[in-house]
Amino acid sequence: MTDSKIQKKAIDTMVIMNTAITNLRLYPPSSAMISNTVDRLYQVLSIILEEEESLIFAESEKNLLICGQLLNQKDQEKPQVISFLEVLLDFGIKSVTFEKRLDKAELIAFLEILSKKPEEVEKEGDLQKVMEDKGLPHILLDQKVYVAKDKDQQILASLDIKDEQIIKYVTGADPTSDIDLQKVKEMARDTEWISRVFQSGMKHITEQSGTTPDIKLSESVIHMIRTLDSIADDEDKGGISQQVAGSIADMDIEVISTILTQKMEGLLNDKLFDDIVNQIDDDKFKRLVLKVTHMQDMATDEDATHGSSENELVNQAYESLMNSNRGKQLRNEIKEERAREKEEKEQEIAYFKDKVNLILEGDDETFLNKEMMQSLPDIIEQLFAKEENQTAAEMIDKLADKLLSENPDVRVQVSETLLHIVDSLTDEQRTDTMNRLSDKLVNWIKLETSITPAYEQICIQLQNLAHTLIRNHQFAESGPILEVFNLINSGKLEKDEAIKAISGNVMREIAIEDLLDILFKEFLSNEQNKRKEASHNLANIGAAPVNRLLDILRESQDGSERVRVLQLISEIGHHAVPALIERIEQDGTWYYVRNLVLLLGRIGSEENVEVLRPFLNHEDFRVQRETLKSINTIGRDRRGEILLSALPVSDERLKVSIIDTLGSLKYHDAVFPLLELLKSKSFISSKTRTELEEKICIALGRIGSEEAIPALMAIAEQKGLLRRKSYDTKVKIAAGRALAMINKR
């Protein structure tokens, strides 16, 4: 298996391993979800170990190595790689080796260890001891990892200048280097040395292939040639040109064409272009000319996307090729080849369109034909390769429509095919495609009920798209992605626990600090007039923003800003409750506490109502009043008991509101305490006393208990048990109305 294939399989392994570790933290090992995840992981590992003696993951300076090979920067930045690396770092693991004959029981035991917190493992002894106790002979920790050294790595050592210094200097990676140029110029008299420097520089540049655009790589090559040109003596440049041209002529057409369409005037006595062309055989020359003509066509088709100077260089390279002796000799052949290629391309595209349309316009049975569906990724890749990007995009869009099929088997087949297509695209094409399909994919996530490898991977692709969109301040576009995962994770969109777990993982991966910084900056400043969209993103990202928002609520002197924060936390909903309760228990200024109490009344539940009880006796009446409202909102069956217990010790102003609330609740247990309060000698002749008495009468009428009739009649008729006490006319009228309500009931 090639290094690239091992790395791809290894990354697939990490994705499943991360999921398994997360699931083991959430669910019992005996659950079906754990069993399914471990089965998938064991299957992927077994495929690798069938061809390899071992699979080794190692950490070096916070980078990941696979079988001694450092992952490229693009792969290092993948969320699943970062997550796996964090697990290794948390446990202090330098390397983990999976060897042949690994059995599933060993794998499960190892995953169970990693699912624990490091401090829990330490209680059982160090990790190595725990592994030994478990008996895991085919999973080894911290074995020595040897990184392969290239035979050319030390070819420049004779200068007493580090290889890395010279390579970075000549390729332009370190233009400020204080390298000893005089020494370098002395060595440059040796054309063979120049060739070796060039080869080492090319190796350094080509290692960046896949993560750096071709145009940037070719610019690095030209920079290197210019540097060599500057350090070489004029009499040596002819030989150097021959050496460099030979190296370039051995490269593939893509690289040669990109180099020849750069600015090369004055390089190595203006001989380099001709030297390269002269060292290419006829067949490669024809392919090179055709490639440059494709570059011309692409510039025209894209309406001169390249700058005018770039187009001019492409045209200049074409003219130079065709005006060379080789070009003149092969002009007719090249013209015929170009016409034939154009015709073949048109025929192939027509064939691809017909085949794809046959599939996409078919019924559900067509989409269940695995052989036909497996051919689609190759067809789409061919269309992109032939620069039929619009046609390929239309085909992908039509395929994505079937994600919403009522047939779950069709959805599974289509999602797998789409994933293969997306994986085959360049980074730019992948981002564009995922962005264009995001609405359809979001609707599919809402609809889908079963987890497949494609489901998990597409969730990760949407997660990565959300990262990109937020970093590009495309908050409106990222909103629906966040919203669907939040709906699932919160339970508002009903799914099984496995799907909820995936959604929770996605939300945690999106709610990272640098993305939160971007969203908060716009929420607070409205710098790009996208506050509403940024706020919507924050509301759908889970609990991560809550503590920052509560800090703003506590510190802000801007009333409008506090209102926005209150609204946003309300939209976040139950995810914010734990942080909210923690802040309430810490207390604070009256207006801060009042806002916390208000929020808990909006987003809390009956189980949180006890947190509010003490604030009915808060020193500030405004907090008391807000507490009463919140208890009434979320207290459900607990409201009556809590309010009644607070009634005797409440502020006189709050008593009025509590009594009114008890009446509206028709809380029967309040009848006798209210009657006692009505008879209480602590009443004084005042407006507050009259209001309290009036509210008590009305509350008793609402409750409708016959036990209150004698007292109410005594007040209404000013006789009986309470005849010695004088009541205001308003109270008498209220008592009469209360009696009517009880009698009517």
> pLDDT at residue 296 above 80?
no
In the prediction, which pLDDT does 573 show? 93
- pLDDT tens sequence across 620-656: 999 999 999 999 999 999 999 999 999 988 888 899 9
- pLDDT tens sequence across 202-224: 766 766 665 566 666 677 777 88
Nearest C-alpha neighbor of 253 from the set 195, 321, 304: 321
DSSP letter for 66, please. Answer: E
Instruction: Give the C-alpha distances (Å, rounded to integers) separating 296 from 24, 254, 336, 496.
Output: 56, 14, 17, 54
Higher pLDDT, 336 or 681: 336
In the prediction, which pLDDT does 359 show? 67
Higher pLDDT, 180 or 282: 282
Mean pLDDT of 519-544: 94
- pLDDT tens sequence across 129-148: 888 888 888 888 876 554 44
545-634: CATH, from 1.20.120, 3.30.70, 1.10.155, 1.25.10: 1.25.10
pLDDT band at 607 (very low <50, low <70, confident <90, very high): very high
pLDDT band at 579 (very low <50, low <70, confident <90, very high): very high
> pLDDT at residue 553 above 90?
yes
The residue extents of the domains of the chain are: 3-141, 157-327, 545-634, 642-745
- pLDDT tens sequence across 729-742: 899 999 999 999 99
pLDDT band at 174 (very low <50, low <70, confident <90, very high): low
- pTM of the entire predicted model: 0.56
Mean pLDDT estimate for the chain? 82
* 174 close to 220: Cβ distance less than 8 angstroms: no
Percent of the chain with pLDDT over 70: 84
Instruction: Give the C-alpha distances (Å, rounded to integers) separating 280 from 268, 276, 285.
Output: 19, 7, 6
Q: What DSSP string describes 650-702?
A: S-HHHHHHHHHHHHHHT-GGGHHHHHHHHH-TT--SSHHHHHHHHHHHHHHHH
In the prediction, which pLDDT does 192 show? 63
Backbone angles phi and psi of 52, in degrees to 5? -115, 150
- List beta partners, residue 212: 209
- pLDDT tens sequence across 106-119: 888 888 888 888 88
pLDDT band at 304 (very low <50, low <70, confident <90, very high): very low
Residue 92, sorted as left (phi over 0), alpha (psi -120 to 50) or beta, turns out to be left
pLDDT band at 14 (very low <50, low <70, confident <90, very high): confident
In the prediction, which pLDDT does 183 show? 66
Higher pLDDT, 395 or 169: 395
- pLDDT tens sequence across 459-490: 999 999 999 999 999 999 999 999 999 999 99
In the prediction, which pLDDT does 537 show? 96
Residues 6 or more apart whose CB falls under 8 angstroms from that of 136 comprise 106, 109, 110
* 506 close to 485: Cβ distance less than 8 angstroms: yes
> pLDDT at residue 421 above 50?
yes
The residue behind tokens 């180099």 is: 259
What's the first-to-final CA gap in the chain, in angstroms?
A: 85
